[in-house]
């Protein structure tokens, strides 16, 4: 469901307002403030507020009073060093706050990241909108045979159409029953004056996990990058990964030097165990190794060979 005219007017009003400040601001993220970035079929992310920038990270690391005469490449070099060696506290000096609209089943996976401040839309107090997530046909897949958390081959033809019909039908039916249990119209008045209706806190329990919820989510930069490292990874579930990918773009706008270091050392890099590092050294020395004599488990061997580009 698109944003209402009232919501669009509120966003326009927020974007037109200006507040004088002595705080550091970042023009690229200022340009994005309050604007919804679409995700999935009805979801979005919005940057609501932020504190700090790349210079704040450098300042915290050096415990200095100002920017002085430092050059951008000096800041980039220090940020790269901090990222490379896992010195995380300077990144905790920066924070960002998002408004996120997402399916409930994604929210329940997301909330496992416990290092953020969260305030979720209350279905005890308000009525949830009639919006639910239906996967695109190309995202319908069978259970993976090798990964109990993953997807296998895509469904097609009549089977895919049947699954979509079930998902849509169940969501529609559950929401219709939700409205019936509430016995409320949009103004909060009784639809059927002869019935009191069920309380909102009880009526909500019949909704499907595909129903959309919303929350404000505030997190420091270090923990945001931890979230993104896990959820923007290709092994993450698609429905949470697309949110992480949208948030990666906000990271690049907000703290470009940090985002570049994060991409280089976390997203694009690899961590090796002591045994795996020994295997790499032996390979560089010209030894011919197999999984059996590497000292690694079969799974670790496959992962290492994939990282080294020796497996597809």
* Sequence-distant (≥ 6) Cβ neighbours of residue 157 within 8 angstroms: none
Instruction: Give the separation between CA 197 and CA 186, rounded to whole angstroms.
Output: 14
Residue corresponding to tokens 């959820």 = 231
Name residue 266's beta-bridge partners.
Answer: none
**Residue 3 carries which DSSP code?**
P
Specify whether the CB–CB gap between 252 and 259 falls below 8 A.
yes
Active site residue 231: yes
Neighbouring residues of 269: CB distance < 8 A, sequence distance ≥ 6: none
Residue 98, CA atoms < 13 Å, CB-side half-sphere: 24
From the list 231, 266, 281, 310, the catalytic residue is 231
Beta strand spans in 180-275 (E): 212-220
SS3 per residue for 64-100: CCCCCCCCHHHHHHHHHHHHHHCCCHHHHHCEEEEEE
**So which residues are the catalytic ones?**
231
């Amino acid at each position: 469901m698109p944003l209402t005219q009232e919501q669009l007017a509120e966003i326009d009003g927020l974007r037109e307002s200006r507040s004088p400040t002595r705080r550091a601001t970042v023009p690229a993220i200022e340009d994005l403030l309050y604007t919804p970035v679409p995700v999935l079929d009805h979801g979005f992310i919005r940057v609501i507020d932020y504190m700090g920038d790349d210079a704040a990270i450098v300042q915290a690391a050096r415990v200095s009073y100002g920017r002085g005469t430092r050059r951008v490449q000096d800041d980039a070099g220090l940020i790269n060093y901090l990222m490379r060696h896992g010195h995380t506290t300077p990144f905790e000096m920066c924070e960002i706050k998002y408004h996120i609209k997402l399916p409930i089943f994604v929210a329940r996976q997301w909330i496992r990241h416990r290092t953020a401040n969260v305030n979720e839309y209350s279905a005890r107090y308000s009525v949830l909108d009639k919006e639910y997530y239906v996967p695109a046909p190309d995202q319908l897949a069978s259970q993976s045979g090798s990964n109990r958390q993953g997807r296998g081959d895509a469904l097609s033809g009549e089977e895919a159409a049947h699954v979509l019909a079930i998902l849509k039908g169940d969501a529609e039916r559950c929401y219709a029953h939700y409205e019936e249990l509430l016995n409320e119209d949009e103004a909060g008045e009784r639809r059927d004056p002869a019935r009191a209706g069920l309380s909102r806190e009880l009526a909500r329990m019949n909704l499907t996990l595909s129903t959309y919820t919303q929350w404000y989510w505030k997190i420091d930069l270090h923990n945001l990058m931890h979230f993104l490292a896990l959820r923007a990874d290709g092994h993450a579930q698609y429905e949470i990964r697309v949110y992480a990918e949208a948030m990666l773009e906000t990271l690049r706008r907000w703290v470009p030097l940090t985002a570049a270091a994060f991409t280089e050392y976390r997203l694009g890099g690899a961590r090796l165990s002591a045994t795996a590092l020994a295997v790499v050294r032996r390979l560089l020395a010209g030894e011919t190794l197999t999984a059996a004599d590497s000292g690694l488990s079969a799974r670790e061997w496959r992962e290492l060979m994939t990282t080294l580009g020796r497996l597809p």
